[in-house]
Amino acid sequence: MAANGSEPAVAVSNLSAGYDGMQALESLSFELPAGTLVGVAGPNGSGKSTLLKTLLGLVKPWRGDVRVFGRPVNGARGLIGYAPQAELVDWDFPATIADVVMMGRYGRIGLLRSPKAIDREAVANALAQVRLEPLAHRQIGELSGGQQRRMLIARALAQEAELLLLDEPMVGLDATTQHDLLALFEQLRDSGKTLLVATHDLSCVAGCFDLTLLLNKRLVAFGPPNDIFTPEILSEAYDEHLLLLPTEGGVYVGHHGHG
């Protein structure tokens, strides 16, 4: 299944969604161009994970329309790859890196069928892209935090996804590992992938991302980080005062009391 290059990677129109009668997203509308690195930011409970799950088809919209490369979500699942939050993964499970990355091929292999040469090649290519090929047969419980994130991304790449949905990939990583992961995001973006990254790390978004979706159940703002990360807009989203400091790499965003 190939993506349609003339269509936005994601087009959301008047989207409202939630769980058990509790609204998590309200009247969202936006379009993401293909080949962009997009940060989804907002306070806890703002709807970041709900948005990713709606794009995956795991949460059904209450109202509105969601399209991925011009198709309904159910018709575009082969184009969408997902990397969950690392703490949701059972790292004690007896599997190797290559085993987990091969899981990204299951939708193409089919039930009860063995992987073929084309599947093993796709896994090897995905591992090479994230620089984990030498560790292919290492048990997943032996991985560092950065290696865990890269393995989950490799699983999505093995699927041959064009849209990568990454849920809080930066949590718990040191500055060096974050830098390496951001370089991988930029490499994937430059290769034509579209990345939608839910994150609390506003400084990384400010320094490296093309666009920002700033949520607080509704869409507070959408556009380049330099346009979005102003004291007025951030205070509207977070209901508190945030400290913005210019740095050599962009802008540092930190908490500065409560409003």
- pLDDT number for residue 88: 77
- pLDDT number for residue 256: 46
- pLDDT number for residue 105: 86
Q: Are 34 and 5 in contact (CB under 8 A)?
A: yes
Domain that holds residue 189: 10-255
Inside any domain, residue 5: no
- pLDDT number for residue 109: 76
Per-residue pLDDT tens digits of the chain, which is 259 residues long: 556 557 899 999 999 999 888 899 999 999 999 999 999 999 888 999 999 999 999 999 999 999 999 999 999 988 999 988 887 788 888 899 999 999 888 877 776 778 889 999 999 999 998 899 999 999 999 998 889 988 998 998 898 899 999 999 888 888 888 888 899 999 999 999 999 999 988 888 888 899 999 999 999 999 999 899 888 888 888 876 554 545 555 555 555 443 3
Number of domains in the chain: 1
- pLDDT number for residue 259: 35
Measure the CA–CA gap between 60 and 167, rounded to whole angstroms: 18
Inside any domain, residue 37: yes
Inside any domain, residue 101: yes
Measure the CA–CA gap between 237 and 135, rounded to whole angstroms: 41
- pLDDT number for residue 250: 55
> What is the CATH number for 16?
3.40.50.300
- pLDDT number for residue 3: 63
Inside any domain, residue 34: yes
Inside any domain, residue 3: no
Question: The tokens of 148 are what?
Answer: 């865990």
Inside any domain, residue 177: yes
Inside any domain, residue 1: no
> Strand 211-216 to strand 37-41: parallel, antiparallel, or no bridges (unpaired)?
parallel
Among the residues of 62-105, which ranges form H helices? 97-102
Inside any domain, residue 137: yes
